[in-house]
Chains A and B, each alone.
Chain A
């Protein structure tokens, strides 16, 4: 039996668990907090722009489990907002228990409040993961999905300090880079000015603190656009954030709210005093991060060098996914990379050739494109998402973007990849 140990229970880790399990492995997820999904607990935005294509591709590849759950708990579908089309907004208060239930029903073991602190490694082969209590979890193949956000010292040195986000480092302890512990240097993102890391791209307001009109509009349409007072427009701030797909002029001149259960504010942070000058937000307060008026978490400080199969370079039995595997933005991107890593973990253990997705589909192309770019100086300053910025432009150029499910189905069939992640390998 192949035992796959996944470090990090965010979207990428959950996706890897699903496909590793489908391929026949014994799967355990180690998660330091008391919730799966990590930042997905305050996310919600799916299927906007090219993410629609990616979601459909995953379903066709046989890894639609998590996409289907997101669809099922979506409060709004087909939402358009500046620069974005046909978004779905899942309900952040419903998603985690549903994903957890699905994973448990599949027979995936979940170790919560369990923090990985080190690796046992010999001749570039990982034997086990050392936990905070000095015990060891042994396995055949390991998948690192620890992300790249925080911990507190990094958020202070490269941001505005800990602003108390959903990751809750003071409670559950800091994130640890497993690949770094195994002796592989992390790759770090840079901002346009060359400084390290980037701010997370959105914060969330408590919906009950907003005016009745805004709440009504959010409930009905899923989106509200409110103009920023002229004296408060700050275009410079756009370059700070990670989500370059929202680095548009509209996002400096307006406050854009999306209904994900919270009111998702599409900016890294926004001083509360200024926010309350906007009509309807007079009583607004932050839900995530709690100090969203001051700053946001700092990300992209811990990327592992990898192959397009998601295998980490230099270690025989370690794969990676999610933000750990590149400067990716978003849940869809995390799930996509996670699916491939989970499937390949079983191939790796069986000595089979690892699967590399073709660049004729969006999933394969973004994985390869982000990997090419990370080796360039300019690439360290870019982020990759199906939802916008340079990668969505590329999708359109290369004719990868479509919302026509039939076209996608024909293509995936032609590539002989239909339901490939659903196949049992052992």
Chain B
């Protein structure tokens, strides 16, 4: 049986759609804006081609850089910073959705220092966002010295793959497994799932950090939390037993690709019906589908991971790259 994989653009229908990809016939969604003659999209919303024409056959205004005030900076151990920054309430609201991320850099550094960072927490009442950063390379090391202001560009949304199942989930049973810096996006997802009255089990692994840094952000009365080293045999056993004994409607894995693969195997074996959502680990560099650094092969098509959503089973089925 042949089956077409349905790709969706996370930005479709947003304030940023149509984007520059439309101008070059590379739109992820619209067949006309891929240079074809007739409609064949699966986008359910106001027509992107129509928006493009109304906009004078140009991309809508792209996301712009702005300087945000640092409200708080906390360094934990020798490899973790948490920044709290003041932004407009609208900007914070746009970042409340699971998988949101922004680009940040030192104001005094050139544009190519911009690095994508997941939103851990967004407060649209106060107008504040929190991000956690693992210090690894040149881009993140250059963030250490920032004190008062930081350059921000956003909002971006494609930080997790398989988001469709997550966004519509209500009154269901969820397993969240997050390790290291992926604890940060897990917080944003947790809070979203709690708002929708889901029952959550959270397995936290501090990874290479000195502590799990998210305690302040989770309501332990609503979430069953387990701290474990998920790489160890014991950790794997805990995950397997939880999956075996609970009827999970959805499982989220935050961490490396090998972690995603391992959990996928457990799910296939023990609970194949469970929807699977994962952090998007591709190397995102511009976030706009332009630079190509996040390209990945799904099925027979190369997609831009910074914008493209799909059912995650296709990623594992067909093998990536």
Contacts and interface: CB of A to CB of B under 8 A. Distances in A.
B1 interface: yes
Interface in A326-359: none
A153 B46 contact: no
Classify the secondary structure of B's interface with A: loop
B260 interface: no
Contacts of B2: 120-122
Interface in A153-177: 153-154, 156-157, 161-162, 169-177
A154 B32 CA distance: 9
A422 interface: no
A170 B3 contact: no
A279 interface: no
A231 interface: no
Q: Considering the complex of A and B, which 8 residue pairs feature the smallest CB-CB distances, nearest first?
A: A152-B47, A173-B44, A153-B39, A153-B49, A120-B1, A154-B39, A153-B32, A151-B39
A174 B42 contact: yes
A132 B8 CA distance: 12
B47 A169 contact: yes
Given A153-B32, A154-B38, A154-B39, A172 B49 contact: no
Nearest to A177: B40
Contacts of B53: 156, 161
B108 interface: no
Contacts of B42: 117, 132, 173-174, 176
Interface of B: 1-4, 6, 30-32, 38-50, 53, 311
A149 to B, nearest CB: 11
Contacts of A302: 38
Contacts of A274: none
A173 B53 CA distance: 19
B314 to A, nearest CB: 10
Interface in A21-55: none
A110 B6 CA distance: 25
Given A132-B44, A153-B31, A181-B4, 13 more contacts: A117-B4, A118-B4, A120-B1, A120-B3, A130-B4, A134-B311, A151-B41, A151-B47, A153-B41, A153-B50, A157-B49, A174-B41, A174-B43
A173 B42 CA distance: 7
A117 B6 contact: yes
B197 to A, nearest CB: 21
Contact of A152 (B3, B4, B49): B49
Contacts of A169: 47
Contacts of B3: 118, 120, 130
B6 A170 contact: no
A152 B311 contact: no
Given A153-B32, A174-B42, A127 B1 contact: yes
Contacts of A301: 38
20 contacts: A115-B44, A117-B6, A117-B42, A120-B2, A121-B1, A127-B1, A130-B4, A134-B311, A153-B30, A153-B47, A153-B48, A154-B39, A156-B49, A170-B44, A170-B46, A171-B44, A173-B42, A174-B44, A180-B40, A186-B38
A150 interface: yes
Contacts of A122: 1-2
